[in-house]
Amino acid sequence: MRVTWTPSRHPDDYPFVHRLRVRFAETDAMGVVHHAAYLPYLEEARVEYLRSLGHPYAELREEGIEFAVVEAAVSYLRPLSFDDEVDVHLVLAGATPATFQIGYLLTTGAEPRATAVTVHAALTRSGRPTRLPRWLTSLSPPPAAGHP
């Protein structure tokens, strides 16, 4: 696995936060949010983070760049329920010329609910690996510095 970063459980360690609300469709017969539904939460937060940087993902795609997910890891701490307001805290946790990783902390109120890491590669529209955009690698701390 290329995940090299361990997500913190402290919101202060994350420079960006996106709030969303749990849909009923995302719950399962255990009465809580299904574990697969967390990945679209991370994605939604990622998209808002890119927008906040002035690089909306829809524009990147029009320019011919896709950010494929090459790895995803989620640690489920306490279940989420229907109608919960969830804060997805996000940090760019390292980049190489070809991949970057993002760390996440999900909280409701002050309570940690889940942590996650996703690793992404830049692809051309035809699916070939390509270099990450300059603005992204320049933003990112070196991956080695990622970790306590």
Is 33 exposed, middle or buried, given 0-12, 13-18 or 19+ CB atoms closer than 10 A?
A: buried
Q: Is there binding between residue 1 and a second copy (CB under 8 A)?
A: yes
Q: Is there binding between residue 132 and a second copy (CB under 8 A)?
A: no
Which residue in 12, 13, 28, 87 is the catalytic one? Answer: 28
The mark string for 90-129 relative to a second copy (x by CB under 8 A, - otherwise) is: -------------------------------------x--
- Beta-bridged to residue 116, according to DSSP, are 74, 104
Is 12 among the catalytic positions?
no
Separation between Cα atoms, residue 111 and residue 102, nearest integer Å: 20
Q: Is there binding between residue 147 and a second copy (CB under 8 A)?
A: no
Which H or E run includes 112? strand 111-124
DSSP tally for the chain: helices H, then strands E: 3, 5
Q: Are 90 and 45 in contact (CB under 8 A)?
A: yes
Identify the residue among 4, 16, 56, 143 touching a second copy (CB under 8 A): 56
Q: Regarding beta strands 85-95 and 111-124, do their DSSP bridges make them parallel or antiparallel, or are they unpaired?
A: unpaired
Q: Is there binding between residue 70 and a second copy (CB under 8 A)?
A: yes
Identify the residue among 10, 15, 19, 40 touching a second copy (CB under 8 A): 40
Q: Is there binding between residue 148 and a second copy (CB under 8 A)?
A: no
CA 55 to chain centre: 15
User: Which positions are catalytic?
Assistant: 28
Q: Which residues bind a second copy (CB under 8 A)?
A: 1-3, 6, 21, 23-32, 34-37, 39-40, 43-44, 47, 56-58, 61, 66, 68-76, 79, 81-83, 127
